[in-house]
Structure 1
């Protein structure tokens, strides 16, 4: 009965999250409460077990990075970057799009992509309004760039954080295995933007002159805080990279960085915590409890065995099915709950694969690439997509589901198609 209850609760929660009939945080909390109420799991397993409990490393890593970004936001540095990009592009629409896309992708690799789009999107409205440009193509391009760029590092995309925790992967592992292809995919994406949004690049000389007259330095409201924030961010990123030497978990590094920034600046604790995405953190906690219930009742184990039988022990077949299947499923549902569900299954597949026929770690990279890039396919495929659509709606420029999806499907198919030979050549041959 426990397994049946776990499956029913989880499937119902999945449907509600995918359809957005109810706020996803409420769904995650409700599902976790039902798991505990029906004794599918208990408090000890839900809150303290490494295998079936909340992954506090994920929660506190996000919390620490959100605090750092909250402080940086107060300096105006992101507005500075947007105006700087517009002036460096000399108001040319396509050049501007490239600048904003590259800034977004780079920032998403260092921060999480949801935080990045929250900061960049409002500035995009300002710049496009001044240049008389349709903001929709720019917003869509930015959110897709954030999903692609975020895939390059451990902290860039929430699914990567979950995978790292389950697989024991470091910040450097993601840089070595993910970043090289992501750089190539970003170059291809920049070329795609020229074709996908070709009807949106209108040039208005009068408006361009107005933008060129702006002084980007005026956007920075607190230079001292900016220097302090960038110094701490640089230390945090360096500590991520030096994890094999320092042996500090990313969550510890992020919290230490957040604490140092609050202690060394005039920003109060209340101000630093005010802009933390608490619903996102609570969503993660509830989600981990629900997935833990599936593990505890043996459902995950049964699915793992079925997956192993379906691939008949062939690592190449398992990797390709995982890559394309993850992309397809992440297009339908948010990639965060998908990866949380799949990671224990992939762990079992990696363990059972041994070392024959290639590198079993390819399964982790197939899951990461598929989920991260598949999130671009539809408007609900990734949290960053939903955030940007919400910002657009509040600013009177709604982006329809199919408006986003008709571009997203093209980008996803092309990027996943390019990922396929990369996995084959690097891990399977």
Structure 2
């Protein structure tokens, strides 16, 4: 960081981050304003912002979100989310904590099979309806689901975008992630259930009259358009299959989502303008601005300097390196999006592994994955799923503030990262 562009980029990013935290200006305006300033000061340019793979807008994320939002918008018209809301409440006997526990487990499992952003897009509408039926605040349930999605997504190669980057760089397979990270992820979901029982204890107010009323409802009556529901579920199943078969088909998730959205609009009776109206455009704009701001930090060498400083701290000590890489990645991934962070750290981690003679059982790669994935829970903008849910909540007049999310996210991140440090030490060093 020996030029003014680097320091100017830091000032712009820190200033934008402070404004997002303060919530005095809407986060979308801040992100787009910050992106504009990065372009004005020359920290990045139009070619880098719009076309560069490592430092530009991640169009795969943008179009994945847009495609899935369109599919969800069509499904919403069928009444399937009302059906699922009534069904889940009845299975949980309308007990609030049981409902939350059910949603957490479903979200975590689905995030491991799909990806965390797609999962929260599908689960959030159900959650909003469940909370409306039970007269409960939606924020605690939505926050719990986001935390579960990031923890569940840690378990597999396809669960969280950083895992795909790591797998490609380290030549790791789907089964490698299952063997090394899935057991820890499952344990952390149980820990999350315990934490949520404590953190949100004031939320779990049981209304006996409302519960009795819900138990009399017939969920089947909620389905308004059976034919559209069948069409939507078939397309959704094809999209999910496309996600899972990515290693075989080699179609990016964004392409699969867009093809699915286009197919559903083409074969169904849904009006195109109504489907597009369901897209969370402010959320997509926020992501675009955030990507450009982070790209400015990457292009000016700020992120690289931070990563190299971390590498210098690690040296050739594999145990110390794993602990530092995991905890350092957790901190940094809570501040910047974990996708560009991992893209920057992957080559540095590869060099570290080479320096250590290959490392033992890819431990440095697992440390990077755990830190990046779990660290995304720390703040409201630490992971893509967090931002998506905040946008959905705001659109449904159930806004979640930056600090409302972050005060719970920091607790969960601290606990899960601490347990992960213990897991890495026990599995790869104490008994490795």
Distance 2:416 2:219 in 1: 35
2:101 aligned partner: 98
1:61-100, aligned counterparts within 5 Å? Answer: 61-100=64-103
Match of 1:128 among 134, 137, 141: 134
Distance 1:197 1:420 in 2: 26
Question: Secondary structure in 1 aligned to 2:78?
Answer: coil
**CA deviations over 1:339-385 (Å, ceiling 9, x no partner):** 53464134323334316362595455434433443444566766666
Cα RMSD of the aligned pairs, angstroms, is: 3.8
**CA deviations over 1:280-337 (Å, ceiling 9, x no partner):** 2222323333333333333333333222111113343233223223434555x4x53x
> Gapped runs of 5+ residues in structure 1?
none
Shift of 1:425: 5.6
1:411 aligned partner: 412
2:36 aligned partner: 33
CA contact (8 A) 1:315 1:357 kept: no
CA gap of 1:398–1:294, structure 2 versus 1, over 3 A, is closer
1:196-215, aligned counterparts within 5 Å? Answer: 196-197=199-200, 201=204, 203-215=206-218
**CA deviations over 1:387-413 (Å, ceiling 9, x no partner):** 767887998988788776665454333
Distance 2:160 2:150 in 1: 7
1:350 aligned partner: 350
Distance 2:402 2:52 in 1: 39
1:217-366, aligned counterparts within 5 Å? Answer: 217-329=220-332, 333=335, 336=337, 339-341=339-341, 343-354=343-354, 356=357, 358=359, 362-366=363-367
Question: Secondary structure in 2 aligned to 1:91?
Answer: coil
Distance 1:167 1:33 in 2: 35
1:396-407, aligned counterparts within 5 Å? Answer: none
**CA deviations over 1:50-85 (Å, ceiling 9, x no partner):** 233322222222222222222222222222112111
Question: Secondary structure in 1 aligned to 2:87?
Answer: helix
Distance 1:167 1:43 in 2: 31
CA gap of 1:217–1:167, structure 2 versus 1, over 3 A, is farther
TM-score by length of 1: 0.81
CA contact (8 A) 1:163 1:339 kept: no
Shift of 1:226: 1.8
Question: Secondary structure in 1 aligned to 2:418?
Answer: helix
Distance 2:259 2:128 in 1: 29
Please identify, of 264-273 and 417-426, the stretch whose mean Cα deviation from structure 2 is larger: 417-426
Distance 1:302 1:225 in 2: 52
> Gapped runs of 5+ residues in structure 2?
none
Shift of 1:245: 1.7
CA contact (8 A) 2:124 2:142 kept: no
Shift of 1:213: 0.2
Distance 1:282 1:165 in 2: 28
Q: Is residue 150 of structure 2 the alignment partner of residue 144 of structure 1?
A: no
CA gap of 1:394–1:23, structure 2 versus 1, over 3 A, is closer
Distance 2:30 2:294 in 1: 13
Distance 1:59 1:164 in 2: 22
Distance 1:196 1:33 in 2: 39
Distance 2:391 2:33 in 1: 23
Please identify, of 157-166 and 64-73, the stretch whose mean Cα deviation from structure 2 is larger: 157-166
CA contact (8 A) 1:318 1:363 kept: yes
Distance 2:230 2:51 in 1: 39
Please identify, of 212-221 and 393-402, the stretch whose mean Cα deviation from structure 2 is larger: 393-402
Number of aligned residue pairs: 423
Shift of 1:216: 0.9
CA contact (8 A) 2:128 2:138 kept: no
Distance 1:139 1:123 in 2: 12
Question: Secondary structure in 2 aligned to 1:21?
Answer: coil
Question: Secondary structure in 2 aligned to 1:358?
Answer: coil
Q: Is residue 55 of structure 2 the alignment partner of residue 52 of structure 1?
A: yes
Q: Is residue 45 of structure 2 the alignment partner of residue 42 of structure 1?
A: yes
Distance 1:87 1:104 in 2: 18
Shift of 1:106: 4.1
**CA deviations over 1:230-269 (Å, ceiling 9, x no partner):** 2222222222222222122222222222222222211222
Distance 1:284 1:73 in 2: 24
CA gap of 1:18–1:190, structure 2 versus 1, over 3 A, is same
Please identify, of 54-63 and 198-207, the stretch whose mean Cα deviation from structure 2 is larger: 198-207
